[in-house]
Amino acid sequence: MFRRISKSIRQRLLFLTAGNLLLMGVILANLLSGDDSTTASALDRFGTVLMDAGPNVAPVILAGLGLTGIIFAGALDLSIGSMMVVAGTVFGILFSRGFDPAACFLGCFLTAFVLSNFNGLLIRWLEISPIIVTLAGLTFYRGLALIMADAFIPDFGGSIAVHDDAYHGPGQRYPGQILLIAILAALAWETWGKLPRVWLAHGCSPEACRLHGLKPGLILQSTFFAGGIFLGLAALVDVTNRQNLEPARMARGFELEVIGAIVLGGTNIFGGEGSFLGTILGAFFLYFVGQTLLYADVDLYYREAIQGALIVIVIGVDCALHRRQKLLDELK
């Protein structure tokens, strides 16, 4: 896999791996230095930090893997958060109408999958920029979710309470397992599969792909197809981890969180360059930054500012190092 990705991406992956380890080290050091904690209890709590990380970051990584493929091909989907809201609303409607858990899970997954594919079709048919289509989807889908909830849930008052444990399996009992399988599948596909490379080629030049005998429209559609599968899983894990589903409020800013992880992971937002592994590491990095600031007792008012600044610093330092390396390469 490493041979197939560019040197700059490889460098970013190493940088993020080191960053994640450093952040985990800071958390552990803070736990060990606590006044009233023994080494055993500090290690135990550090274990909890690690065990919680996967499930907590699962929706971002799952949706991120799907969106990474879309960005590989030079497209973008800004409506992933809103599509998750529609998926959650369908789940809530089915739950409120007494459907069994399996039907609710399937409804949730398929809704996100179908909407993602619908976005792909719209982009192909209308030949409009993906940013414009999905920017419209950002508000359209949330509105659609509210209309559906109002129409199909009796006395809908803004939220749908789901307090039956049977309906929380994927999000509460198996999020780590779902995430692990999805990550392994994505990495294997990236290593041995042809399609991710075709997406990257499309991201570099759709015209070159066409001249090579490939069909750019179908390539673009396939990214939304694969993205829909990952988004369906993300919606399933996120929705079934909530006790109350609020279409007006849930998943707000989710798309920005996901895009942040992807860009931090080294994927070029204009397409043609990137890696699934970078997205995974980027998502964990963002998660651990937030955790570290809290464990390090950083003042509440400074946390968000530092979080933003750290992202710029990481990308800035990495780019500066990369630029220097590039210059040296050119001199050779």
CB of 91 to other proteins, least distance (A): 14
Nearer to other proteins, 44 or 100 (CB): 44
Distance CA 204, CA 87 (A): 33
Please, what is the minimum distance in Å from the beta carbon of residue 310 to other proteins? 18
Name the token pair of 189. 């596909």
Minimum separation from the CB atom of position 250 to other proteins (A): 7
**Binding region for other proteins (CB under 8 A):** 36-37, 41, 45, 48-49, 52, 56, 139, 142-143, 146, 157-159, 161, 163, 172, 238, 241-244, 246-250, 252, 291, 294-295, 300-301
Rank residues 146 and 310 by Cβ distance to other proteins and give the closer one. 146
Q: How far is the CB of 221 from other proteins (least distance, A)?
A: 27
Shortest reach from residue 324's CB to other proteins, in Å: 38
Of residues 145 and 220, the one with the C-beta less far from other proteins: 145
Helices (H), 240-253: none
Distance from C-alpha of 82 to C-alpha of 74, rounded to nearest angstrom? 21
Token pair of 41, please? Answer: 């209890």
* Nearest distance, CB of residue 290 and other proteins, angstroms: 9
Helix (H) or strand (E) holding 285: helix 276-295
Distance CA(27)–CA(4), nearest Å, equals 34
The residue among 150 and 215 lying less far from other proteins, judged by its C-beta, is 150
Query: Residue 247's Cα: distance from chain center in Å?
Result: 19
With 0-12 / 13-18 / 19 or more C-beta atoms within 10 angstroms meaning exposed / middle / buried, residue 30 is: middle
Q: Which is nearer to other proteins, 68 or 82 (CB)?
A: 82
Q: Rounded CA gap, 84 and 253, in Å? A: 12
- The least CB distance from residue 163 to other proteins, in Å, is 5
Question: Is the CB of 91 or the CB of 199 nearer to other proteins?
Answer: 91
Q: Rank residues 16 and 239 by Cβ distance to other proteins and give the closer one.
A: 239
Residues in the chain: 332
N-terminal to C-terminal alpha carbon distance within the chain: 26
Q: Which two tokens stand for residue 223?
A: 């990214």
Which are the contacts of 231, defined by CB distance < 8 A and separation ≥ 6?
62, 63, 66, 67, 80, 83, 84, 112, 113, 116
* Least Å from the CB of residue 153 to other proteins: 12
Q: Is 171 left (phi over 0), alpha (psi -120 to 50) or beta?
A: alpha
Detail the DSSP E strand segments found in the chain. Answer: 160-161, 244-245
Q: How far apart are CA 165 and CA 169, in angstroms?
A: 7
Nearer Cβ to other proteins (49/214) = 49
